[in-house]
Structure 1
């Protein structure tokens, strides 16, 4: 039984507050830096109070970008990242849920072997197979394209495994009742399994969206045309200028804007996300 101890509660809240401050302080510094001028950081001091150039900095980074970085305006790069993140998240979920459905509900030769072959690919992340994957993408003419950015990252053994484990918990009586009512496999999948999988889909969508949004190595390899740069690539280029000092106010403005889409997705799907992770039957 948990005792209601005043000192213990105070200590717990103090630790939580210190943890929040520790995590949030770098974000606060980025927001403050994005409101300052470029010369405010040449003195070696980090200002802690907001400046007066926020509108100018954000407008410039969205519409013009940083000329010394070789990257396009941030608005275009964020659009590329959004297309990539949505394509990866939706593609992974679509392929994985159909794969799990086939493995669990269809009887075909070597279906267990097929599942384990999919599962074994967890030991072969993109970084391990990146050179042959790049060769295939290049031979297919998919460099500098949205297809090249997204298709090699769409398959997901993790999502297939999670959907399979959930489908195994669905009572067989539901399938039998659907069959008696004349429902075919796809109707059973559409009308019963999909609604039951809503929380799983939401949780995976949040995780996979952030995974796609934060991609750096693969877009760096398959894009040489600046019109296909992603926001993570753009921020890296803004910070690594060779012949001049980085314009940290613009870099931090880009960082703040790059945080917004994942934050919106997490907040918007928070209830379903948490429910999909903590429900006892998952």
Structure 2
């Protein structure tokens, strides 16, 4: 029996509302700041109501950027970040699905050894192996390219481990039934495993997309051509302008635009994302 406690429900809701307000307040401040004129920041105080320069600021950042800070137009940087994030995401998912499928359903020598070798790479993130990785990318002529931005980051031991654990929960009767029907390994993978893995794929898609979108160190090292700058790199350059104070009203406009794609991905895939993280029975 569930007891009705109005006071307890009220306190719980107030705490939740307070938590949401604390999380959203910095976002609101960034949005408000992106609508102000340049003179507002020279006064030392920031209004808490939107200004009248929103379209002007966003258009200026989208079309021109901050050339004096070495940042190209935000539209171009957003496109570069989108291409890199999608390439990393689809690359990680494809490699992880195929490697987990091979480890679980193929009987070859040392398969568990190879799995643990893959799993051990969790202790070697790109920051640890960045010098040899940079050398390989430079020797292959992939500096200042989308291939150089994405290929070194597409392997994922985490996704391989999660898909392996999920594939091991699938009854072997499905595999036997597929064999009886004459299905080969690739047909079994395409027609049975992939549909069963949709929620897992969706959850990992969101995580991997945000991972790729937020990359800073690796793009900073391998890109010297402004045509390949990502939005995270651009934000850093905007805030460290060498010949004057940062134009915070324009920087905040770029911040809001940079935050929109990950937010939209989470909103559109929220149901599958939560289902993929919480569902235990398929």
What is the TM-score of this pair, normalised by structure 1? Answer: 0.98
Give the match for residue 146 of structure 1.
146
Partner of 2:191: 191
Residues in 1 aligned to 2:3 and 2:189: alpha-carbon distance in whole angstroms: 48
**Structure-2 residue corresponding to 1:256:** 256
Unaligned runs of 5+ in 2: none
Alpha-carbon distance, 1:4 to partner: 3.0
Query: Mind listing any 5+ residue stretches in structure 1 that lack a counterpart?
Result: none
Partner residue in 2 for 1:59: 59
**Residues 89 and 208 of structure 2 are in contact (CA less than 8 Å); yes or no, is this contact kept in structure 1?**
yes
Give how far 1:6 is off.
Answer: 1.4
**How big is the shift at 1:2?**
5.5
Alignment of 1:72-151 (within 5 A): 72-151=72-151
Contact 1:203 1:272 in 2 (8 A): yes
Aligned length: 282
RMSD between superposed Cα atoms in Å: 1.0
CA contact (8 A) 1:235 1:254 kept: yes
Cα contact 1:57–1:250 (8 A) shared by 2: yes
Task: Indicate the SS of the match to 2:8.
Answer: helix
State the secondary structure of the residue aligned to 1:142. coil
Q: CA deviation at 1:42?
A: 1.0
Query: Which residue number corresponds to residue 34 of structure 1?
Result: 34
Q: Partners in 1 of 2:92 and 2:67 — Cα distance?
A: 36
What is aligned with 1:171?
Answer: 171
Report if aligned partners of 1:219, 1:229 keep a CA contact under 8 Å in 2.
yes
List per-residue Cα deviations over 1:76-119 (Å, max 9, x = no partner).
00000000000000000000000000000000000000000000
- Tell me the CA shift for residue 3 of structure 1: 3.6
Q: How far apart, in 1, do the equivalents of 2:7 and 2:133 lie?
A: 57
How far 1:71 moved relative to its partner? 1.2
User: After the TM superposition, which of the residue ranges 45-54 and 177-186 deviates more from structure 2?
Assistant: 45-54
State the alpha-carbon separation in 1 of the partners of residues 52 and 127 from structure 2: 43
SS at match of 1:42: helix
Equivalence for 1:43: 43
After superposition, the C-alpha distances for 1:47-101 in whole angstroms (9 at most, x for unaligned) are 1111111111000000000122111100000000000000000000000000000
| Equivalent pair of 2:69/2:242 in contact (CA under 8 Å) | no
**Residue aligning to 1:13:** 13
In the superposition, the TM-score normalised over structure 2's length comes to 0.98
**Alpha-carbon distance in 2 for matches of 1:107, 1:82:** 38
For the residues of structure 2 that align with 1:162 and 1:281, how far apart are their CA atoms? 15
CA displacement, residues 7-38 of structure 1 (integer Å, 9 cap, x when unaligned)? 11111111111111100001001100111111
- Find the aligned partners of 2:98 and 2:2 in 1 and give their Cα distance: 45
| Residues in 1 aligned to 2:130 and 2:2: alpha-carbon distance in whole angstroms | 51
Match in the other structure for 2:23: 23
